Amino acid sequence: MSVVPILQYHSVAENPPEWAAPLTVRPDRFDEQLEHLAHAQMSVVPLRRLVSAIRGGPPLPPRAMVLTFDEGFADFYWTVAPMLAARELPATLFVVTGAIHPPGGRPSGSRLPPAMMLNWRQVAGLDAYGIEIGGHSRTHPALDTVSGRTLRSEIEGCKRDLEDALGHEVTSYAYPLGYHGPTVRRAVRQAGWDSACATSDALATTSDDPLRLCRLTVRHDTPISLYDAWIHGRSARLGPPPESLSTWAWRLLRRTHGPGH
């Protein structure tokens, strides 16, 4: 078993909307973090390579780690992708398909507050360039508080949106807000997604369930010392937490009172 930190980013921008600011990393700080990965001689591998290693495929290189980006903010195209390209680093971009708009047109709609989001032409361009495009639902609900047709739309519908737009299969999913349970994971598996990332601020390992991959969330104020500890497999729990009674009680409470953020 080896530890493979998966970092979760959102936006990389100078002036984010207020709601996104806590999860937005400034471009100079992002550059500093990428520089740090190079210095530490980390091997940034595609998420698919980790999933393959979990399923018994080729072993990963030493110091393997994964970069992921959630939502589909426009700055991924203008800021993040060129910085990754300059260092030849792979990444996965998880998009909320209801927030992606046709060039010049309106998106179908999501629960995300207003922000500059990618358009479908940019998503296709990133895909063609080699960024892995993954699904992050259609509207970004807490999936463990929805059911039936809504749950299917957010999981199967999101996959259809992406496959129609890109013309090939997509297999990596990320749970909006990180929430999932056995019912959600079953729906994800049945829809044909073969991996799914959560946000448990824990380190992933090659012996984890590929539908419960833990990520470490990089925030606007994450100190480089903590960042360094994470990439070296320290300062965070290994693998997903057990699904305890308190998790179920918490979920029931949120279902009763509506999704929180």
Residues near Zn ion (CB under 5 A) are: 70-71, 176
Residue 213 dihedral angles phi and psi, to the nearest 5°: -80, 125
SS (H, E, C) 40-73: CCCEECCHHHHHHHHCCCCCCCCCEEEEEEEECE
Q: Measured from the CB atom, is 16 or 64 closer to Zn ion?
A: 16
Report the residue number, 42 or 161, with the smaller CB distance to Zn ion.
Answer: 161
Q: What is the dihedral of CA 211, 126, 117, 193, to 10 degrees?
A: -20
- The residues, ordered by sequence, that sit 6+ positions from 228 with a Cβ below 8 Å of its Cβ are 36, 40
Name the minimum Å distance from CB 175 to Zn ion.
8
Minimum distance from CB of 42 to Zn ion (Å)? 24
Tell me whether residue 173 or residue 227 sits nearer to Zn ion (CB atom): 173
Nearest to 204 by CA among 45, 37, 93: 45
Q: Alpha-carbon distance 109 to 96, whole Å?
A: 9
In the complex, least distance from residue 27 CB atom to Zn ion, rounded to whole angstroms: 20
Q: How far is the CB of 136 from Zn ion (least distance, A)?
A: 6
Given the complex with Zn ion, which of 44 and 197 has the nearer CB atom?
197
The answer to whether 236 and 216 are in contact (CB under 8 A) is yes
Question: What residues have CB less than 8 Å from 136, skipping those under 6 apart?
Answer: 70, 71, 72, 94, 95, 96, 158, 173, 174, 176
Closer residue to Zn ion, CB minimum distance, 42 or 151: 151
CB of 56 to Zn ion, least distance (A): 30
CB-side neighbour CA atoms (13 Å) of 203: 22
Instruction: Output the smallest distance, CB 28 to Zn ion, in A.
Output: 24
| Residue nearest Zn ion, Cβ-based | 70
Closest distance to Zn ion from the beta carbon of 9 (Å)? 11
| Residues 191 and 175: beta-carbon distance below 8 Å | no
What's the rounded Cα separation, in Å, for the pair 38 and 84?
A: 12
Q: Are 94 and 134 in contact (CB under 8 A)?
A: yes
The nearer residue to Zn ion, 52 or 68, going by C-beta atoms, is 68
**Would you say 71 or 127 has its CB closer to Zn ion?**
71
